[in-house]
Structure 1
Amino acid sequence: MKKLHFAAIALLTFTGLNLPVSPSMAEEISCQGTLGAITVDNVKVPSGKTCNLNGTRVQGTVKVESNATLNARGARIVGDVQGENAAAVNVLNNSTVGGSVQVKQGLAANVSASAINGDIQFESNRGALVANSNRIGGSLQAFQNTGGLRINTNRINGNLQCKENRPFPLGGGNIVQGSKEDQCSAL
């Protein structure tokens, strides 16, 4: 299909016809500041910047780049929230994520009072991490974090898995349909 698309562009250009050709990719918006109750395709939070999604609907994925901060409050995100080397990833106040929340090799994260249809994954982060009062359709996994981890009163359809976190995770009151494993076995 892509070959045919490019062949059509080449043919139109070669014949001198300059007809508009629409891209088949979804649009990505660079968020620096605040987005209110609007609908966008995909969101990228650029390195070192802060993005506030207040009641925003994201049809795709939110990517939080190095040293960037995401504050999502009452947001509706169809895809994933992905933060790698991010300063902070906060998904709060009745936000909904259709995919997973993945925070890796960054600093802090707070996922509270929200619905996550996929997994919450905290891996190799150096700052404080919180998962509080969420409905999680998949598993909550926390591996090799060093800034402290609090996991309270979540309803988890999958497993609660914690390994190699220093200090040990704290919390309790979690309802887990699967198994509570390793460092989180008592939570």
Structure 2
Amino acid sequence: MKIRTFIATASLVASGSLVAFSGSAQAALYTTCVGDGGAVTVSNDLVVPAGKSCTLTGTRVKGTVTVEAGADLVAAGATFNGAVTVEENAYLDLTDTTVKGALTTDSAFGTHLEKSNLKAVNVTEGFIYAVDSTLGGNVNTAAGELYVSGSTLNGSLTGADNQYSDVYDSTVKGALTVEGNALGGVFCASEVYGAATYSGNADNLQIGGEGVLGSCAGASYFGGNLSVTDNTANSVLDNTIVRGGLTATGNDPVLVVGELTRIRGAVTGETAAAGSSGSARKAAPQDRGADLAERAAERAAEARADAHEAGKSRL
């Protein structure tokens, strides 16, 4: 891989290479990536320029990583010691990768995390699709799409004003908050050890069990209180243990509680038994993860093709 250092007033990018440059003699050095990069160490910050594509395999970046507007970064087996920022309509795809700083996206196309380790995650618009990953800090998402599967979250998880917030086969060690989701959410075969809140959601809301969004074979567990309030969604709670109390107020239609649900604490508000007249359900869409997987795979394939066309970096 060619790495060149410049003191210049304008960006200089060589096709298929990593190029390090500084905007002035006083400014911090950083490296731009266009093309395919391998197992090297970048000692400063790394930038994927706007509209360009970069793929990294086994690369270590000691500084921050920025994926500029419309750009793509696909990394496997990489380590990023600093924060990662993903800008408007940009895409981030990480496999077997560690991010030691916070991940922040703002109006990005989306983020796909697989078998990766991250700390705090903050997403505004765009999707986040996390599979078999460990998220060490709080995860906050807003105005996008949230899908978590087979993952461990050591902090809290928040899905606010998303299209939907779906959690499958995952553990949330902090609090769970799902509020204002236009297409509701799914909680399937998962565990939450902090307080859990579902509020102001529409369309369909499935918390465990067989429900409006399909089948969920495994049981779910809430270690604290569960609050399901002020939802206009068709809401179902089933095949779930709630160690604390359940609050179910202001829901229209009322929350349907299945026969496999066990609530250890007090129940406040109105609920309906499964099969009652108040539990009419709409036709269920398919698992939304399949759609996100397809969109992520398509964008990643385009990014790899663009990076390959830009040129193979030489070590």
Instruction: Output the TM-score relative to the length of structure 1.
Output: 0.78
Cα deviation for residue 180 of structure 1 reads 1.2
Matching of residue 115 in structure 1 with residue 133 in structure 2: no
Distance 1:160 1:49 in 2: 32
Larger mean CA deviation between 58-67 and 132-141 belongs to 132-141
Matching of residue 155 in structure 1 with residue 152 in structure 2: yes
Tell whether the 8 Å contact from 1:180 to 1:186 is kept in structure 2 after alignment.
no
Tell whether the 8 Å contact from 2:156 to 2:174 is kept in structure 1 after alignment.
yes
Equivalent residues, number: 158
Q: Which residue of 2 aligns with 1:171?
A: 167
Q: Which residue of 2 aligns with 1:138?
A: 137
Relative to structure 1, the CA distance from residue 143 to residue 101 in structure 2 (aligned partners, 3 Å threshold; closer, same or farther) is same
Cα deviation for residue 87 of structure 1 reads 2.6
Larger mean CA deviation between 78-87 and 37-46 belongs to 78-87
Relative to structure 1, the CA distance from residue 135 to residue 24 in structure 2 (aligned partners, 3 Å threshold; closer, same or farther) is farther
Cα deviation for residue 100 of structure 1 reads 1.4
Corresponding letter in the other structure for 2:146: L
Cα deviation for residue 121 of structure 1 reads 1.8
Q: Which residue of 2 aligns with 1:34?
A: 36
Higher relative contact order, chain-length normalized (CA < 8 Å, sep 6+): 2
Corresponding letter in the other structure for 1:59: K
Q: Which residue of 1 aligns with 2:52?
A: 49
Distance 2:156 2:26 in 1: 37
Tell whether the 8 Å contact from 1:160 to 1:176 is kept in structure 2 after alignment.
yes
Distance 1:124 1:156 in 2: 20
**Any idea what the Cα deviations from partners look like across 1:107-129, whole Å, max 9, x if unmatched?**
1210111011x21222122xx43
**Any idea what the Cα deviations from partners look like across 1:73-98, whole Å, max 9, x if unmatched?**
11010001110104311111x10101
Tell whether the 8 Å contact from 1:138 to 1:158 is kept in structure 2 after alignment.
yes
Cα deviation for residue 27 of structure 1 reads 2.3
Distance 1:103 1:53 in 2: 19
Cα deviation for residue 49 of structure 1 reads 0.1
Cα deviation for residue 25 of structure 1 reads 5.6
Cα deviation for residue 130 of structure 1 reads 0.5
**Any idea what the Cα deviations from partners look like across 1:164-184, whole Å, max 9, x if unmatched?**
011x12231221111111257
Q: Which residue of 2 aligns with 1:17?
A: none
Distance 2:150 2:53 in 1: 29
> Identity over the aligned pairs, expressed in percent?
28
Distance 2:134 2:110 in 1: 20
Report which of the two structures shows the higher radius of gyration computed on alpha carbons: 2
Distance 2:151 2:138 in 1: 11
Distance 1:132 1:86 in 2: 21
Matching of residue 68 in structure 1 with residue 67 in structure 2: no
Relative to structure 1, the CA distance from residue 149 to residue 165 in structure 2 (aligned partners, 3 Å threshold; closer, same or farther) is same
Tell whether the 8 Å contact from 2:84 to 2:103 is kept in structure 1 after alignment.
yes
Distance 1:170 1:162 in 2: 9
Instruction: Output the TM-score relative to the length of structure 2.
Output: 0.47
Distance 2:71 2:177 in 1: 31
Distance 1:132 1:122 in 2: 16
Distance 1:121 1:54 in 2: 25
Cα deviation for residue 26 of structure 1 reads 4.5
Corresponding letter in the other structure for 2:110: A
Report the secondary structure of 1:169's partner residue.
strand
Cα deviation for residue 157 of structure 1 reads 1.1
Tell whether the 8 Å contact from 2:167 to 2:186 is kept in structure 1 after alignment.
no
* Structure 2 segments unaligned to the other structure (5+ residues): 1-24, 180-184, 189-315
